[in-house]
Each structure stands twice: as C-alpha cells, then as structure tokens.
Amino acid sequence: MPAPIDISKVVVESSTAFSGRFDIGMSGAKPDYPAVATVLPSSKGATGYGWLGDFPRLKEWIGSRQLKNLKKHGYNIVNKMFESSVAIPRVDYEDNDYGRYGIIFEEMGHDAKMFPDEYVFGLLKEGFTELCYDGQPFFDAEHPSEDGVSTFSNVVGDPSTDTGPAWFMLDTSRPLKPLVWQERLVPEFQSVTDASDYNVFTTDNYAFGTRARGNAGFTFWQMACASKAALTEANFEAMINKMMEQKNSEGKSLKIKPTILVVPVALRSAAEKIILRKTLDNGEDNTNYKAVDILVSQDL
C-alpha cells in the first residue's frame, strides 16, 4: 500500500508555492498610477499634508533671508483597508487536486499590483467635486491666492454645463506629482491553513488572501487642469497655455510644464489625432506633435 499523504506537509509546501505564484503575478503587472501619482509612505491611519500651499521658489538674496511660512491646511488622507480572499476545500488536498489553483494566486498578485489604478484615476475623475488642500474642488475656477485677493482657475470650459467626458492635463515632471498614492501597507499574501483553526474546522476550507492599506489624494492643483468640453485642438492648446502661464503669489512663473494628457477610452482617438499626427489635414506640420504623452485610462 502507498504511504498516506502527510496533509500538513503538503499544505505548508503548497502555501509557499502559492505565495511564489502571487509574487510572480505582482512582478508582471504594469499599473498606470505611477505615471501620475507620487507614492508616499504612511505610518499611521491618516497622514496630514498641511504644508501644501504656494510653491517655494529661489529668489535673489537681498538683506536677510525672507522666510516663507508654510500655510497650515487641514488636508488629510485617511488610509483605507483592501482585501481579496479565496477558500480551497481541504478535500482538494486530500485528493491531491490543489495545484490547479496556482493560476488564481498569480492573478491575485497581478490585481494586488494594479488595484491603486482604480482609486488614483477614480479620484482624478471626481476632482470636479472632491476637495483639495485649499478647501475648493481640485478642479475649480475659483482657487484662492495665498493672500486671498484673487482667484485662479484650472479648468477649461464650464464643467457645470459641459457634458462631454472629462480629460486631464498634468505636469508630472516634478518630484511631487499632482496626485499621490499613500502607501500604508504594501499588499501582502496571507493564509490560514491550521487544521485546528476554528474557521478551518467549521468550514473545512483553507483560507488565502491579500491585505493592503492605502489611499489616493491630491497635491498641488496648479499642476493639473481638466475639462469636460470637447477635446479639440483649440481646447488642447488653451489648456496648455493656461497651465504654463500660471504665476505664484509674487508674480513669478510657476514653471509648469504639461507632460501628459490623460483621457478615457472614449477620447483615445481624439487625443491621438491631436498629438500623434505629424501632418494636419491641410498639409501643414502639426505643432502639437508629441507635445505631451498620452495615457488612456480604463478607470476614468
């Protein structure tokens, strides 16, 4: 007679193998959010970004240093919990039929790497109503200046009446991008395979899953602009000009340089027509040819 299977040993070995498949899935995933969001570590349940405000700029040193007080803003990003879980019947181990689940854990790892896309681009889409550090919606026509004397706009058209799908222009050339992915806990693989565990005992299933913590947030609205008007050459150029013409509270250029156009799938063709054609319909050179990169997000 063949020796009986040591189920406990098989469970340990398979858990290690499943963890390896999870890591393979993680390593093969290519999310989009790092292109538009800076990943910042978080060490507690919520992290404050009260220092967001006017851009600091070098100036000629005349007399004493002119210390710039960072205005206190009550802007916090609260971390969320995320999970994904599966159960494998114990009988599949007894019947030596557990190997077929390996691809599931590889897919779980892939999803664990990709999931911030949904929240980063989802937040970008909601930027017409979600508030940023100055108490206004991130995309708004009335962002107050630091001295409270004037207001600034980072929208093209009128989002309250324009009905088209939203599109976005971002400056991602700086260390701090317009959005952040606040990372409290990197996705980790977990398992419950102890036969004496109450849930295993009552369900006759082994449990495997992923656990992560984090959230998306805004930084400087000055580095982003949005519109629900048609994505035309004229509106595209108006948006670039609006961003590049911005000045700080001292009248100095913010040196904003748009680098990426973010569009939903519905505007992919319109974006490519503006940016990827070398020659216009009238035969002239396209001055907007590769002016910025294009990112087509399926989460918008």
- Place 66 in a pLDDT band, splitting at 50, 70 and 90: very low
| pLDDT for the residue 18 | 86
At residue 18, the 3 state secondary structure works out as: helix
Residue 19 lies in a domain: yes
Indicate whether 69 pLDDT > 60. no
Report the 10 Å Cβ neighbour count for 265: 12
| pLDDT for the residue 63 | 52
CB neighbours of 22 closer than 8 A, spacing ≥ 6?
A: 105, 106, 108, 109, 112, 189, 210
Residue 132 lies in a domain: yes
Hey, which residues does 82 pair with through a beta bridge?
212
- pTM, 2 dp: 0.86
Residue ranges of alpha helices (H) inside the chain are 7-28, 90-94, 102-114, 116-125, 198-203, 233-244, 268-275
Domain total of the chain: 1
Residue 1 lies in a domain: no
Q: Can you give the residue range of the structural domain that contains 99?
A: 7-297
| pLDDT for the residue 7 | 63
Contact 235, 228 (CB under 8 A): no
| pLDDT for the residue 102 | 86
Residues 205-263 pLDDT 10s: 989 899 999 999 999 999 999 999 999 999 999 999 999 999 877 788 889 999 999 99
| pLDDT for the residue 1 | 45
Report the 10 Å Cβ neighbour count for 96: 9
Indicate whether 58 pLDDT > 90. no
Alpha-carbon distance of 279 to 99, in angstroms, equals 55
Indicate whether 64 pLDDT > 60. no
Contact 106, 23 (CB under 8 A): no
Higher pLDDT, 128 or 195: 128
Residue 155 lies in a domain: yes
Indicate whether 62 pLDDT > 80. no
Out of 63-72, 89-98, 188-197, the most confident range is 188-197
| Mean pLDDT across 48-72 | 54
Q: Label the pairing between strands 155-156 and 293-297.
A: unpaired
Q: Identity (one letter) of the amino acid at 267?
A: L
Q: Label the pairing between strands 224-227 and 167-170.
A: antiparallel
Higher pLDDT, 104 or 13: 104
